Amino acid sequence: MIETERLRLREYTPDDFDALYEIVSDPETMAHYPAPFDEARTRRWIDWNLENYAQYGFGLWAVVLKETGAFIGDCGITLQNIDGKTLPEIGYHIHKQYWRRGFAKEAARAVRDWAFLNTKYNALYSYMKYTNEGSWRTALANGMKKVKEYPDPKNMISWAFAITREEWIRAVLSFRKLTDFDRGIMYGILKDAYSFDERCARCWDGNWRETDDFFFDHPRIAERYGFVTCFHGEPIGFISWDPRNRPEYVEIGHNAIITAYKGNGFGKAQLAEALRRVREYEGLKEIRVRTNSNLIAPKNYERVGFVLYDRKENRGEAAFSGDDLYYRIQLSEKE
């Protein structure tokens, strides 16, 4: 189930037939379809989505008003033939009684977020008949751009809109000062991010608390040498760096994303933003980071250009985390 401020998106049931039929049998609502749906087509629509849930884990979901429980349409993701390619498409149909209230946009944005968070698709699409202004305006409001116009036997001419994962990340992430949050924010993120192995907390809990206390005891340092990453305004990660060895090098410190948001490109975006800020230091020669071989972090650092330059056996309490790995990015004089 997906929830927004005003809406709840849930799976269809056969009991939704009457409410759906009222929408899809209406000539005005279906003006951009070849024809309104009859009863048989409406039942097939529900069955098709039940099959999609079972096969893919997604489909068009019933859109319900949270305040009243009224069924007002559907919105979701299905696989569609868009100019000869099978692509993930966000579709939406809202009862005309509820048009021009932003419900389609609200539902479509929630589906977009769900899809990027729960699937591996690197782009999402919406397509429609070129005359369907309400639909393409909803696509634009969902952060999409027009990417294709093509002849379509069903629509005469179809327009396709798309948003990539990278574009979505830029739209939903923001980077805020550590001091915008209460003491404990860094500790909480680190504890969650390393919850995959209880040995991490046993070994590093004290360091996490010290890090949090240090930054909040020194707010000027906190504002200049780290930030919190937010998803729709909610904190999901943070990163810090140590500038004391400039111009020889700056060292990346803690770099963490909470568990629920890992694997979606947010860690890479957070690191990229930190590197952008660090590269602004005049005359800087290197950016360094230390991590451990049994963590996922080495792959993340390598993806953004870090190169391994040293490796040391870890025989301490944290030996379970693997060898200590030392990475760096060497900067040119122009940088």
Residues 8 and 151 reside in one and the same domain? yes
Residues 50 and 128 reside in one and the same domain? yes
Instruction: Give the residue carrying structure tokens 């389609």.
Output: 104
**Is residue 124 one of the residues assigned to a domain?**
yes
Residues 167 and 184 reside in one and the same domain? no
Residues 146 and 11 reside in one and the same domain? yes
**Is residue 305 one of the residues assigned to a domain?**
yes
Q: If residue 277 lies in a helix (H) or strand (E), which one and from where to where?
A: helix 266-278
**Is residue 110 one of the residues assigned to a domain?**
yes
Residues 159 and 187 reside in one and the same domain? no
pLDDT for the residue numbered 321: 87
pLDDT for the residue numbered 50: 98
* Dist CA 90 CA 79 (whole Å): 9
Residues 117 and 162 reside in one and the same domain? yes
**Is residue 6 one of the residues assigned to a domain?**
yes
Residues 134 and 46 reside in one and the same domain? yes
pLDDT for the residue numbered 316: 81
105 half-sphere exposure, CB direction, 13 A CA radius: 13
Alpha-carbon separation of residue 317 from 48, 73, 90, 114, 201 (angstroms): 55, 56, 49, 39, 12
Residues 186 and 160 reside in one and the same domain? no
**Is residue 30 one of the residues assigned to a domain?**
yes
pLDDT for the residue numbered 334: 53
pLDDT for the residue numbered 155: 86
Locate 227 and state its tokens: 């930030």
**Is residue 226 one of the residues assigned to a domain?**
yes
* Dist CA 102 CA 87 (whole Å): 25
Instruction: Give the residue carrying structure tokens 């489909």.
Output: 59
Residues 197 and 101 reside in one and the same domain? no
Mean pLDDT for each consecutive 10-residue tract of the chain (335 residues)?
96 97 94 93 97 98 97 97 96 95 96 97 96 95 96 91 97 96 96 93 94 96 96 97 96 96 94 96 96 88 95 86 94 68
pLDDT for the residue numbered 319: 85
Looking at 171, 198, 226, which one is the last position of a domain? 171
* Dist CA 133 CA 112 (whole Å): 20
* Dist CA 164 CA 112 (whole Å): 10
Instruction: Give the residue carrying structure tokens 């979701």.
Output: 76
CATH of the domain at 313: 3.40.630.30
Q: What is the pTM of this model?
A: 0.89
Q: How far is CA 177 from the centre of its chain?
A: 21
Best CA proximity match to 165, nearest among 115, 90, 222, 201: 115
Which string of DSSP letters, residue by residue, matches 210-231? HHHHHHHH-HHHHHHSEEEEEE
**Is residue 335 one of the residues assigned to a domain?**
no
pLDDT digits (tens, 9 = 90+) for 221-241: 999 999 999 999 999 999 999
Longest dimension (CA), the chain: 73
Structural domain boundaries enclosing 204: 177-330
pLDDT for the residue numbered 223: 94
Residues 67 and 36 reside in one and the same domain? yes
Looking at 171, 206, 229, which one is the last position of a domain? 171
* Dist CA 64 CA 74 (whole Å): 8
* Dist CA 261 CA 264 (whole Å): 6
Task: Indicate the number of domains in the chain.
Answer: 2
